[in-house]
Amino acid sequence: MYVLVCPCIADPSLRARGITSEGDRAAFTRALERCREFGVEPVLLPCPETLYLGRDREPGPFHPRLDTAEFRALLDRLEAGVRKGIQRRGEAPLCIVGVDSSPCCGVGGHHFETIEGTPSRRPGRGVFLSRFPEIRAVEVKDFARYRVYLAGPLFSEAERVFNRTVRDLLEAHLFRVYLPQEAAEAPGREPDADRSIYTGHVAALRDTDVVVAVCDGPDADSGTAWEMGYASALGVPVIALRTDSRRFSAERRLNLMLERSARLLTAPGMLPAALRSPFCEPET
């Protein structure tokens, strides 16, 4: 399994001068970590802008500086080379990992021209990635968000089995899942293990990209509700998974505070797309 990766993700010096933030660098690093963790080979694409304008360049949009016959001819050659590489491998890549707003490698939008001194961002892929419409494209910051904290009740065998089923689904989509019940079920539990479990869960919540919270039952499990609230206070996105047909009230599926602070899904199969799995087409 492999993904096509915009080369500046591996070498940020390929980007235009002064545009790479610390947040960008962290996302680039995390995206490559995800590849290593799941045995996915990152295959670097060529950088059309660097080849055409050089490394040391000012940032700018596609038009007018790249809107030339020479640049289009370069894109033709680069596209042909990428397609030959795919053909040699004998299988299509899982996806392309692109960089937001790049004139060439943007995914959901790209800087096309400057209007009254301000770059104008158009929706859709940059001019290079748009040449591969048949291959899914994932923005690098979405690809880098792959650490999931799976909260939920864990007091019955049925609950633990369901949690493991959700965990297995997410791991199949290349998400690293922290499952609290695995710590709670650890053998040889010492009298002070509760404090260790608590501090471990809190540390995991502070080091996660998203919380998925199983909220089945007449009301959400109290520990799960605490984890949802703590994550929300940290600014971590929360997805509430409720397959239970019962309603908290005539107007709501969950307690008001939980429902308003989370995105509500009703089936595990909805999770991969909501989490922007590289196996799924982006949600529109």
- What mean pLDDT comes out for the span 237-248? 89
| Averaged pLDDT, 16-20 | 93
**What is the 3-state secondary structure of 213-244?**
EECCCCCCCHHHHHHHHHHHHHCCCEEEECCC
275 is written with which tokens? 């989490």
Q: Is the model's pLDDT at 189 over the cut of 70?
A: no
How far is the C-alpha of 105 from the C-alpha of 11, rounded, in Å?
14
Task: For 32-50, give the DSSP string.
Answer: HHHHHHTTPEEEEPP-HHH
pLDDT tier for residue 165 given thresholds of 50, 70 and 90: very high
Does 116 score more than 70 pLDDT?
no
Distance CA(273)–CA(205), nearest Å, equals 22
What's the pLDDT tens digit per position in 34-50? 999 999 999 999 999 99
CATH 3.40.50.450 domain locations along the chain? 147-274
Q: What is the mean pLDDT of residues 222-229?
A: 95
pLDDT tens digits for 76-90?
999 999 999 999 999
Considering the chain, what is the average pLDDT of its residues?
Answer: 92
Is 7 within 8 Å of 44 (Cβ atoms)? yes
Share of the chain above pLDDT 70, in %: 94
Split at pLDDT 50, 70, 90, the class of 113 is confident
Asked if residue 118 has pLDDT above 90, the reply is no
Per DSSP, the three-state class of 56 is coil
Residue with the two structure tokens 């010492």: 190
Percent of the chain with pLDDT over 90: 78
**Strand ranges (DSSP E) for the chain?**
2-5, 41-44, 96-98, 109-115, 118-123, 137-139, 147-151, 176-178, 210-214, 238-241, 263-265
Which band of pLDDT confidence, cut at 50, 70 and 90, is reported for residue 219? confident
The torsion angles phi and psi of 254, rounded to 5 degrees, stand at: -135, 170
CB atoms within 10 A of CB 46: 19
CATH architecture of the region 147-274: 3-Layer(aba) Sandwich (3.40)
Asked whether 45 and 9 are in contact (CB, 8 A), the reply is no
Q: What is the DSSP letter of 138?
A: E
Q: What is the largest CA-CA distance in the chain?
A: 73
Closest among 266, 184, 278 to 227, alpha carbons compared: 184
Read off the tokens for 128: 């290079």
